[in-house]
Amino acid sequence: MSRTPWKPVGLVLLSSASLQMGLAVAASVFAAAGPVSAVWVRSLVGAVLLWAYIRPDISAYTRDRLGPIAVYGASLACLTLCAYVAIAHAPLGYVSAILMLGPLAIAAWGNRTPVDLALVGVAAIGALLLCLANGTDGPVSLTGLGFALAGAVALAAYIVAGKRVNAAGSGLSGLALALVITAALQTPFGLLLAEPGLWDVHVLLTLALAGVLATLVPFSLEAVALRTLPMATFGLVLAFEPAVAALTGIVIRDDVLVAQQWLGIGLIVVAAAGSLGPRDWMRRMGSDNARLMTDATVAALGRVPLFAGLSAPELATLAGAAQTREFAAGDVLTHEGDDGDEFFVLSTGTVDISAHGQHLRTLGEGDFLGEIALLFGGTRTATATAASPGTLYSLPKPAFLALLEEHPDIEDKILGTVSERMRYR
Q: Which structural domains are found in the chain, ordered by start? A: 6-278 (no CATH), 295-407 (2.60.120.10)
Q: What is the mean pLDDT of residues 128-148?
A: 77
With beta carbons less than 8 A apart as the criterion, state whether 43 and 182 touch. Answer: yes
List Cβ neighbours of 323 (8 Å cut-off, separation of 6 or more): 393, 394, 395, 396
In this structure, of 42-46, 166-170, 262-266, the range with the lowest mean pLDDT score is 166-170
List residues bridging with 327 in a β-sheet.
390
User: Residue 161: is its pLDDT beyond 60?
Assistant: yes
Q: Is the pLDDT higher at 224 or at 53? A: 53
Note the Cα 142 to chain centre separation in Å.
29
Q: What is the mean pLDDT of residues 29-48?
A: 90
User: Residue 159: is its pLDDT beyond 90?
Assistant: no
Q: What is the mean pLDDT of residues 100-108?
A: 78
Banded pLDDT at 4 (limits 50, 70, 90): very low
pLDDT at residue 138, rounded to an integer: 57
Q: Is the pLDDT higher at 411 or at 153? A: 153
| DSSP single-letter state for residue 215 | I
In tens, the pLDDT along 222-251 reads: 766 656 665 556 666 777 888 888 888 888
Q: CB count, 10 Å around CB of 298? A: 24
Task: Tell me how long the chain is.
Answer: 425
Please provide the average confidence, as pLDDT, over all residues in the chain.
80
User: Residue 49: is its pLDDT beyond 70?
Assistant: yes
For the chain, state the CA radius of gyration: 22
User: Residue 6: is its pLDDT beyond 90?
Assistant: no
Distances (CA, A) of 372 to 199, 361, 399: 44, 18, 15
Q: How far apart are CA 72 and CA 48, in angstroms?
A: 17
With beta carbons less than 8 A apart as the criterion, state whether 238 and 423 touch. Answer: yes
Q: Is the pLDDT higher at 387 or at 302? A: 387
Angle at 12 between CA 7 and CA 16, to 5 degrees: 145
Give the residue ranges of DSSP H helices in 212-258. Answer: 217-225, 231-238, 241-253
pLDDT at residue 309, rounded to an integer: 63
Q: Is the pLDDT higher at 73 or at 285? A: 73
Q: What is the mean pLDDT of residues 46-55?
A: 82
Banded pLDDT at 181 (limits 50, 70, 90): very high
Note the Cα 85 to chain centre separation in Å.
23
Q: What is the mean pLDDT of residues 316-321?
A: 84
Using alpha carbons, select from 273, 298, 294, 313 the residue that is nearest to residue 409.
313
pLDDT at residue 425, rounded to an integer: 45
In this structure, of 28-42, 220-234, 266-280, 339-353, the range with the lowest mean pLDDT score is 220-234
Helix (H, G, I), strand (E, B) or coil at 352: strand
Q: Which amino acid is at 150?
A: A
Banded pLDDT at 412 (limits 50, 70, 90): low
Q: What is the mean pLDDT of residues 268-274?
A: 82
Q: How far apart are CA 105 and CA 112, in angstroms?
A: 10
Q: Out of 117-131, 161-175, 364-378, give the one with best mean pLDDT.
A: 117-131
User: Residue 422: is its pLDDT beyond 50?
Assistant: no
Banded pLDDT at 72 (limits 50, 70, 90): confident
Q: Is the pLDDT higher at 59 or at 189? A: 189
Banded pLDDT at 360 (limits 50, 70, 90): confident
pLDDT at residue 249, rounded to an integer: 85
Q: What is the mean pLDDT of residues 342-370?
A: 84
pLDDT at residue 160, rounded to an integer: 77
Banded pLDDT at 373 (limits 50, 70, 90): low
With beta carbons less than 8 A apart as the criterion, state whether 54 and 96 touch. Answer: no
In this structure, of 60-74, 222-236, 264-278, the range with the lowest mean pLDDT score is 222-236
